[in-house]
Structure 1
Amino acid sequence: MTLGDLQFKILDFTFHNAAITVANGNEFEVLAFKDITIDIYGTSTNRTILFEAAGPSGVFKPIQGVKNDDFAMGTQTSGSNESWSFSITGQKKFRVRISAISGGNVTIKGTAVA
């Protein structure tokens, strides 16, 4: 396998970039990707982030992920700088929604693998 082959199996994606307001953010089209790891970081002092996926119905619903530093499972977080992993096999779309934020900004980026 060459580095060129890997280009089509790994994709970096930005859900929110220095967001300061409540927002759905960019929706990730799952296609053939199976897993996604997201990083949440920024200056906000308080925030609530919801993890959601849409299947064939197109309706977004909570999806459970694993927090990478302590293996806690959940469908939302209000922590500071964190990393989460999700299995997205069988989903059509995935998003990371900001439902509350104050005292600064938040950036949420992900890396999906096929």
Structure 2
Amino acid sequence: MNKIISVSSQPVPNLSATSERSQIEAERIQEVLTLLTSLVAREEATIKLIIDCLYDIGYVNLIDKKVRFRPLNSVAKFVGKRSKPVAKIFAWRWFMKNCPQLIARWLYLKVKF
């Protein structure tokens, strides 16, 4: 009538091992983030050159795609070329703020199965 359920027969998950592993993973990802931040600071000139090249390609493609009217297209390209220093400052700030975290998250997803 009364069924007695044996608690000892059911496997108990090892929560401490899972928690410990998660803590180690979090610490290692934090180390990767620190290393990436350091790398970005050391390679500032290289990253700024990369931003410069990407801007040169990107603003022309964006203007060609969005501005179909030929005379306005030329004016927009002229303005885009002249605004490059300001755009590079904003791109550098965005890169410094976001890219180490984005790269660390991407790398973690690559090694997480």
TM-score by length of 1: 0.19
Which structure has more relative contact order (CA 8 Å, sep 6+)? It is 1
Compare the two structures and name the one with the higher strand fraction: 1
More helix by share: 2
Of structures 1 and 2, the larger Rg is shown by 2
